Amino acid sequence: MTSSTNIKALIEKNNSKKGKHNDKIIPVILAAISAVSILTTLGILITLLLETITFFTRIPITEFLFSTTWNPTGSNPKFGIWALIIGTLKITIIATVFAVPVGLGAAIYLSEYASDRSRRIIKPILEILAGIPTIVFGFFALTFVTPVLRTIIPGLGEFNAISPGLVVGIMIVPLITSLSEDAMASVPKKIREGAYGLGATKFEVATRVVLPAATSGIVASIVLAISRAIGETMIVSLAAGSSPTSSLSLTSSIQTMTGYIVEIATGDATFGSNIYYSIYAVGFTLFIFTLIMNLLSQWISKRFREEY
């Protein structure tokens, strides 16, 4: 009786003038909130673009795109972005090579093997790991991981690509694990049961049935994690160094795009100088990289999505 009374009262409320007014005003409020995020993104993009255009009126775009030397403070300044891109790629590749197998392994365990009790323990740990400030990861890389690696790898510099790359990998493991586990959990039970009915083992079901069925979400999670690694700032600023180089060595100091932005933004670059405007050119390049990765993630998610 109480339930039917509540439903009747809800219907009468929705049919009232106040209810109809709310139906009109709520979509407007939600649209305004959405517009704020869109306008903020456009504002950032326009600012980057205008200042980058100013930079290219002073520095040839061919030098920026094709030179491998980045030395903006020298007597003969060079602005070859490839030195910073190579540094960024080193960190990203190391982080991805570490994080993908660890993250997928954890996701498979949580989805196919873990008991409810184990999930209740592991999931909060992953959430805590994802919530640790990146500056803490940076100090961890500089004061713990690097000294340990220097006792193992001969010739490893105090600043290098391996240590921050591994720690960035640790940082993105929760992202891969969480999104991949969600993708595998969305695979219907009847598919698993059908495989078990054919005599498949749990490992075969996990690797030959569930993983292929969840490919869309898994690959999208990896692409998003790579995008996160590309944009990481504090870890590489503290542990990678500040020496832009096109060398493929992983044991010496490097500099990434985000590391350069932090160095100049916190330094004493003169407003209106070439070095000042170079921040925006590098920032715009970084924006293009992350935009491409995010669009790729969305395309993969739609292209390989399975309908059940």
pLDDT tens, position by position, 112-130: 888 888 888 888 888 888 8
CA dihedral 61, 275, 70, 161 (to 10 degrees): -120
CA distance 176 to 103: 5
pLDDT of 301 higher than 90: no
Counting residues of the chain whose pLDDT is more than 70, the rounded percentage is 91
Distances (CA, A) of 256 to 103, 177, 236, 261, 286: 24, 26, 7, 9, 10
Instruction: Write the pLDDT tens digit of every residue in 39-69.
Output: 998 999 999 999 999 999 999 999 999 988 9
Task: Name the token pair of 80.
Answer: 């070859």
pLDDT of residue 84: 94
Backbone angles phi, psi at 157, to 5 degrees: -75, 165
pLDDT of residue 10: 54
pLDDT of residue 166: 96
Q: Which of 78-82, 165-169, 185-189, 302-306 has the lowest mean pLDDT?
A: 302-306
Q: What is the mean pLDDT of residues 75-90?
A: 92
Q: Regarding predicted confidence, which is higher, 215 or 96?
A: 96
